[in-house]
Amino acid sequence: MKTISIFLALVNSLLAGLLIASSFSPTEFRQVELWWFAMKTAAAVAVILIGVITWLGSARSANPGLMALCSLFLVALGAATVVWTFHLALVSGHMEFHMVVYGGSLAVQGMTSLFGFATDPRSMAV
């Protein structure tokens, strides 16, 4: 499970970097409001930071409680991404399937991180 979590951390961090890069394009920057731009960028930066924490956690240098909180955040963010994408499909009529896959990947990374790093249930207590 740790291997899957580390691999998904790499993939999700790269996709979050692409999301940040596409957000800074001139057409995207002019079309969205500032609060949405800030929220999207903050979530992408959080995914990258959690990817780094996951990688450090594989070397046993990360706090297990922090790993558990980060994993739960990823599960929640992944579910929220999928629900938001379906909401946009119902409201606007155009579906972004890549965001559903990305949200699922975030949720799977969070679950594999929770199950992979929790060798002792007491070690994951905050």
Per-residue pLDDT of 24-80, as tens digits, reads: 887 777 777 888 888 889 999 999 999 999 888 887 777 888 888 999 999 999 999
Chain centroid to CA 36 = 17
Position with higher pLDDT, 94 vs 74? 74
Helix (H) or strand (E) holding 89: helix 64-92
Report yes or no: 53 and 62 within 8 Å, Cβ to Cβ. yes
pTM assigned to the model: 0.83
Q: How far apart are CA 66 and CA 43, in angstroms?
A: 17
With a pLDDT cut of 70, the percent of the chain lying above it is 92
Q: How far apart are CA 19 and CA 44, in angstroms?
A: 7
pLDDT at 126 over 70: no
DSSP letters, 16-46, are HHHHHHHHTSHHHHHHS-HHHHHHHHHHHHH
Residue ranges covered by each domain of the chain = 2-121
Q: How far apart are CA 72 and CA 120, in angstroms?
A: 17
Residue 49's pLDDT is what?
A: 95
Residue 17's pLDDT is what?
A: 93
